[in-house]
Structure 1
């Protein structure tokens, strides 16, 4: 259905002038000049073919037509204001996060309660996913991703921590298959997701060349969080990011086998649409997340 409505700017000028009974006060409310308000109302009158105000040297008053439509126009604007206010309340009250599963499961989930204690008015919806979803459609407010600087043009990006990795295993696995005196000793034991390109990178950083893992049975789980669970269960050694598994290391569930730590230049990032940087819930989550990273001693900065 095509609506034959007059310009909204002109209707807003009429509503404000009718409410204030004064063009100057209406102009101040709308951030317009008095002449601009007068022009918009004159344009509306020309469109309707009827005068809406009686103009006198120092005052204006509504005509019969103006008095008839003013309450309906005011009600319409009140309804619009209520509708958009409801949207704002819903939008401000829920923070939607899409995050790669590794970072969500190993680091974020254990700390999100602190954000909600600090901001009880904000509900959090977390979706662990490898899918690179668009953030412009409003389905998600922020994303936690892995990549390089410049990978997401148009988004505000904050580097959280570099993606470093080193072999870890459980105490029972070490007892059963160890000791591992040299990095090359790992070639003889089960390795989690050995087809991952991280393994050759780490062996190269450790000075072990000519490593061929293609003949080993491959236990591939598709993420550090699952690799870590299998390693803790004693199924093999896994390449993991020390900063994300600090608690497991401190509590003895995992053991870092060597001091050699490798990387690919990738980092974990917080990203969101640059145009929404001042939205309170996004700003509050960003500030909280960066502070948590810094306090944990794992931030990129």
Structure 2
């Protein structure tokens, strides 16, 4: 590894940060609820870019780390652009205008199924900021990430194995960033976020250091399933369905007492959010 390689890797991820900055500002300007996860993604990627500039974690192949970041962000951007195209045809927006609540089945197949599930969930009357982060993280980590890893596998021969140490270092970095990012989301979009965190106790574990490690570990496993011809079809179906299952369990848990309590709380606790002043860049 050379200093030049580290600089090139950092520059690639800095490009992703710029793209996410523009997306956050676009969503903030229209009060689109997708802004919350776009900001979360921006902050986590900013931390990765900063680390690559110094290579504090001593990535063995920072170019591969950067390529994964670029490929993963491209999957997210493609899904968001497909939603934007659909919205351009007059479909419902997640801010409730013009069409109000939608179902995933109402959306075109050009949008990956997990992101249809996330968008539809964001249009319900009582959708909370914390939910919007969790559901989007689930789609991005359980669906986009294994597909991005597969795309980087040379000739689909399982050569990803040599990158597992760097992948784990990325897990460490992202996991260490979570608490600070939660505070920043709270300050920017929902000062009551920590109250909602208590409301959703046991259901928000994905947005923790442990949860990120587990989700990314599962993505690595599912990537290898996708690379196995005998397992690929089942794996593709599994990662396509997992976000909808997560949302259903989150909003309607199997335990009837918790399910009833959630329904009561949803009726009583408003889903208030604030928006930054127009033109405020993410930081």
Is this a same-fold pair by TM over 0.5?
A: no
More helix by percentage: 2
Bigger radius of gyration, 1 or 2? 1
TM normalised by structure 1 equals 0.19
Of Structure 1 and Structure 2, the greater strand share is in 1
TM-score normalised according to structure 2 size: 0.20
